[in-house]
């Protein structure tokens, strides 16, 4: 079951799946057309988040600024 850990409206939602012990980041992207990119965090990204929760904003900004770099990491 997914639990919302952190959310900033019209920017990102961070979710945790307690059954699989995985974190997911869903980021709102686009200017003319709005779309989202949902990625599973890597172990390194999870460790950075757990050490410094504010680091998730930096990752979300990276997704917004360079969405094409994250397309191969998209999950449903």
* pTM for this entry: 0.91
Letter string b/e over residues 38-57, b meaning 16 or more CB atoms within 10 A of that residue's CB = bbebeeebeebbeeeeeebe
Q: 9-56 pLDDT, tens per residue?
A: 999 999 999 999 999 999 999 988 999 999 999 999 999 999 999 999
Q: Which comes out higher in pLDDT, residue 40 or 76? A: 40
Residue 76: which pLDDT band, with cuts at 50, 70 and 90? confident
Please give the Cα distance from 2 to 16 (Å, whole number). 5
Strands 2-8 and 12-17 turn out to be: antiparallel
Tell me the domain boundaries of the chain.
2-73
């Amino acid at each position: 079951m997914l639990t919302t850990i952190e959310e900033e409206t019209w920017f990102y939602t961070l979710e945790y799946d307690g059954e699989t012990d995985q974190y997911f980041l869903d980021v709102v992207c686009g200017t003319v057309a709005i779309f989202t990119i949902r990625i599973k965090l890597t172990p390194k990204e999870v460790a950075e988040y757990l050490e410094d929760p504010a680091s998730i904003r930096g990752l979300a900004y990276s997704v917004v600024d360079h969405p094409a770099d994250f397309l191969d990491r998209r999950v449903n």
